[in-house]
Structure 1
Amino acid sequence: MPLHVVLYQPEIPQNTGNIARTCALTGTILHLIHPLGFRLDEKHLKRAGLDYWEEVNILEHSTWAAFREAYPDANCYYLSTKGQRRYTKVDYRPDDFLVFGPETRGLPASILEPAGDRVLRVPMRPGLRSLNLANSVAIVLYEALRQLDFPGLLP
């Protein structure tokens, strides 16, 4: 079973394009939760994803509620600078969902508060805002893949 990356209301097309490329290369399913801050036919999005668009499985959801209805039993981890638990302190399993918020505001409290210890963070220096979204996705996704011994990927 593949892993899932969920982008909640992403805003910057280049980030989503880079994430789509990472998902294509790792066999990860990419979920996009609307509204998006760009059109899916935007040139910056396409350029960032290069020629990998046909290799990525992208699923779109009209709202957060629609996503949760489609995956009511999803084992989700929520990445946020508000998390207290490091992303490396989790035992990832196949079919886990890694949920990331929009670049300028992160995931809303309505999603984070019920998640409890499933809210994770990537360590960084105090006083600085956040890592780039595409970098954060790559960091966390590759840790999950490492723990699963990189299923289906070349050594």
Structure 2
Amino acid sequence: MFNVVLYEPEIPQNTGNIARLCAATGCRLHLIGPLGFSLQNRYLKRAGLDYWDMVDVYYYDCFDDLKAKHSKGRFFYVTTKGKRFYTYFDYEPGDFFVFGSETKGLPEKLLADNSELCVRIPMVPAARCLNLSNSVAIIVYAALSKQKFRGLS
């Protein structure tokens, strides 16, 4: 239904949790390298539990490879620097939600080139950011709610 993109993720437990979320919601998971861990990492496997065979995972060496393969896709960039709340847009099946690494976020140039498609999750001003897997869950379920949770029970 939707596409979750993790740009250079660093923490295997977060990626495992997100894989499990993708499996439970029918989302595809796209991983942009370099990854901050091995795909054989036991924490990654443990966090994803026995859901790994239920999720479609795709790997790319760089973001440009993903964009080239899905040139007609609609991409939203989730960042604390977004001008609009994530609830602003009407999401459609096939949309891509791009999340940055846990410590660096998304590259400034990527955000500048796509400023109108940058969305944020509101927080109190003193908070730096939410956990990556929590952020993905918020965005995915908001998008699914716009689709009236079609295909889910």
TM-score, normalized by length of structure 1? Answer: 0.97
- Structure 1 position 127, deviation (Å): 2.1
**1:71 corresponds to 2:96:** no
Partner of 2:13: 14
Matches within 5 A, 1:24-43: 24-43=23-42
Tell me how far apart the structure 2 counterparts of residues 74 and 109 of structure 1 sit (CA, whole Å).
Answer: 21
Partner of 2:109: 110
- Structure 1 position 35, deviation (Å): 0.3
**1:133 corresponds to 2:145:** no
Tell me how far apart the structure 2 counterparts of residues 135 and 14 of structure 1 sit (CA, whole Å).
Answer: 12
- Structure 1 position 74, deviation (Å): 1.2
- Structure 1 position 71, deviation (Å): 1.0
CA deviation digits over 1:79-104, x for unaligned, max 9? 00011100011110110000000000
CA deviation digits over 1:100-154, x for unaligned, max 9? 0000010011211111221000000002210000000000100000001112111
TM-score, normalized by length of structure 2? Answer: 0.98
Percent identity over the alignment is 52
SS at match of 1:32: strand
Tell me how far apart the structure 1 counterparts of residues 44 and 2 of structure 2 sit (CA, whole Å).
Answer: 22
SS at match of 2:50: coil
Partner of 2:146: 147
Tell me how far apart the structure 1 counterparts of residues 151 and 10 of structure 2 sit (CA, whole Å).
Answer: 31
Tell me how far apart the structure 1 counterparts of residues 16 and 59 of structure 2 sit (CA, whole Å).
Answer: 15
Tell me how far apart the structure 2 counterparts of residues 82 and 127 of structure 1 sit (CA, whole Å).
Answer: 14
- Between the two proteins, the alignment pairs up a number of residues equal to 153
Equivalent position amino acid for 2:96 in 1: F
Equivalent position amino acid for 1:153 in 2: L
SS at match of 1:131: coil
Partner of 1:49: 48
Tell me how far apart the structure 2 counterparts of residues 64 and 137 of structure 1 sit (CA, whole Å).
Answer: 18
SS at match of 1:95: coil
